[in-house]
Every structure is written in structure tokens, then in C-alpha cells.
Structure 1
Amino acid sequence: MKKIDIKKIKLRQVSVDQIDDKVLLINLYATQLLTLIIGIVWLLFQHRNPFRLLEFPAQSNFWMYGVGLTAVVIAVDVLISRFVPEQANDDGGINERLFRKRPVWHIVLISLVVAICEEMLFRGAMQQTFGPYWVSIIFAAIHVRYLRHWIPTGLVFSISYGLGWIYIQSGTLWAPILTHFLVDTVMGLIIRFRRYDEA
């Protein structure tokens, strides 16, 4: 059996332009699967049933929290994109690569997968342990692509805190899942259908 020399393994930073579409999607879905697994294991350690967490509530007013927070987030994002220079709001081009040429059905699918997996971990499991403030700091920190600029980092922290708040107020994980899904879908569709100036 051939041995692998760990000393010869070299890590190098790559830009989003150096990653092909297939690798980008594999990375996205693999990280979401890992997020979901960690969330489920965390819930089991808390002696909580992950399936019970996803039961629809008897009262259906949770959608008002979800849609309301979505409207606020999109309004703030539109204002930021209108008045803040693009370089101060740069995510390194990942969202652009992910959504610009993606079919609409795939944008919706990506948004749904991300919303369920991330909300299961962050709001469903971690918020029970750390509370919405510290979970929001962790949530902002894992969105590494935004950390170079304080405006998107602050926006991600604020959205996360809002998701934690509506989870508490509504009493169901479906409120933050709905917001997360709608925000990602709308932003993805904006990127997909935005007119680009051809230089």
C-alpha cells in the first residue's frame, strides 16, 4: 500500500473564479449536509427530537413573522446596494457564481436546502445552548466571505439575530426557515435576472 506523505500536501488559497461549477455545487451541498448532521447530533445530545422541531404549529400565524422579516431584510439590502459602494459590500463573487446562470428551480432548491439545514443547526440546536446573540456572532463568523467588510458582516449578524427573535416569538422553527428561504430565493433571483453591462 502506498503511503501518503503529509509534508508534501500543500494548501493554497483559490479564488472563486478558479473553481468550476460542479465543484462549487458539490462544496455547497456537502457543507449543508454536514451542517444538518451536526444540527441533528446536537439536538440528540440535548435529548430533543429533530422531527418534532419540524412539525407545523397548530397556529399558522408563523408565516407573518417570516414574511415580515423578509420584507425588512430585502428593503435594507436594496438600500445598501443603492447607497453603499459595491466594493464595500463584496462577498468575493460567490453569490454571483452561484446564482447568475442557475435555473430558477435550482435557485429555489438551493435556498430551501440552505434554509432547512442552517436553521436546524443555528436556531434549532445552537440557540438553545448559546442564545440568539452568540449564535448570531457564530453565524456571521462562518459566513467567511463577508468578513472582509463590516457592512455585510453586520447585515448577516442582524439577520441572524432577527431569525433568532422570530423563532422565539413564533415558537416554531418554520418562521426562520421561511425567512431564510425567501431571502435567499429573492436575492438569488435578483442576481439571476439582473442586467449586466457588457464592457
Structure 2
Amino acid sequence: MKWTNQAELIKQLTDRQLVNQVYLTQLIILILTIGGSFFLFDSLEEVADLFRWNTQQVIFYGISAGVVVLIIDIILMVLLPARFYDDGGINKRVFRSISVLEIFVIALLVAFAEELLFRGVIHTHFGYIIASVLFALMHVRYLTKPVLFVSVLFISFYFGWMYEITHLLWVTIIAHFMVDFVLGVMIRFNVMR
């Protein structure tokens, strides 16, 4: 499918249909993750080990990573022309049409599903670099937007590094959730362009 065909298809969707596509995509990611886990993990204990909790590390690494990414993103959004952050209007259409509660739910679902797949399964079994690059490539609509692509690549490697240091999936889930939730709320209330 050509990029223009994809953009045209997205334009034909209502905002609600676009939001539903987000839910569907995350469901597919969760199904792939569960399926891959059956083949890649030796036991349920190994999977459960991904979800260990360490409050000190979650605060120090997870929350601080989320704050760092948010600060950098906000600075870049202020300094760079709006066209550099334009994803074709998809994020605006998704977040401006839903409540803060639904932004919370979507941000939590996206953070959980994507971090479980990319850090929990792919990073754990295939390594830091492969997981980080695949995470960035999954955001295919950013491939033609250099600032957005470099940004998501940086975030992917940064969150992967946090996972590499801590081996705690909650660290990356919380950091990812913070970024998506805060930026989603900012879009919802038109805080940034």
C-alpha cells in the first residue's frame, strides 16, 4: 500500500473509527505477545519475573525517563516548526475526540501492550538493539517525518536502556504511559499546537 493510499484511507475514517483502530492495533500486539511468549519463555515464572516491582527503581528510572522525554519533546515542539511534528493529524484526531479518562485508558493500554512486546519479549530474547529498532519501525507513519522518527528512535533506545539497567518492565511501562498520557492530554486541550 502506498503512503498516499494509507493517508487517504485514514482521512475516510471518523475520529471514533480511528480511536477504535488504536484499540484493535493494541489487541493485535497483545495477541502476538502472548503467542510469542508461549514459544520463547520456558515457564510462567519467567514471564512473571518481568513484572517484578521495585518502587525505588520505578520512581528513579521510570518516572525520570518519562519526565526527560516529555521535557525534550515539549522543547522541540516549541522550537521547531509545527510541520516537523505533524503526523498527518492522526494524534490530534484521536486525542481531541475523547475524554481524559479514555486518554488514560489508551495510554495505559498502549504502554502495557507495546512495552510487553518490545521490552518483555523481543528485548529479553533478541536484544536491546533489535527491540529498539523494531519499536521505532512499528511507528511506520513517522518514517517520512525525520524529526518524529528520530524522536521515537531516541525514546525507544532510551526506554530500552532503562530496561537494560533494571530488567523491570514496570519502569518502561510507566515511562511510556507518562509520555503518551501527558502528550495526549496536551493535544486534547490544545496546549501545544
- Partners in 2 of 1:163 and 1:55 — Cα distance? 16
Q: Which residue of 2 aligns with 1:38?
A: 32
Report how many residues are paired. 185
CA contact (8 A) 1:32 1:114 kept: yes
TM score, norm. by length of structure 2: 0.88
How far does residue 56 in structure 1 lie from its aligned partner after superposition? 3.6
Percent identical: 37
- Partners in 2 of 1:196 and 1:75 — Cα distance? 13
List gaps (5 residues or longer) in structure 1.
1-11
Q: 2:117 aligns with which of 116, 121, 126?
A: 121
- Partners in 1 of 2:191 and 2:164 — Cα distance? 39
How far does residue 47 in structure 1 lie from its aligned partner after superposition? 2.2
Q: Which residue of 1 aligns with 2:97?
A: 101
SS at structure 1 position matched to 2:180: helix
- Partners in 1 of 2:36 and 2:64 — Cα distance? 29
List gaps (5 residues or longer) in structure 2.
none
Distance 1:53 1:192, change over 3 A: farther
TM score, norm. by length of structure 1: 0.85
RMSD, aligned CA = 1.9
How far does residue 21 in structure 1 lie from its aligned partner after superposition? 2.5
Cα deviations across residues 117-164 of structure 1 (Å, max 9, x unaligned)?
111100000012332222221111110121111111011011011111
Letter paired with 1:173: L
Cα deviations across residues 6-42 of structure 1 (Å, max 9, x unaligned)?
xxxxxx5325332112321221111101101111222
- Partners in 1 of 2:174 and 2:79 — Cα distance? 28
User: Which has more helix, going by share of residues?
Assistant: 2
Q: Which residue of 1 aligns with 2:141?
A: 145
Distance 1:60 1:127, change over 3 A: same
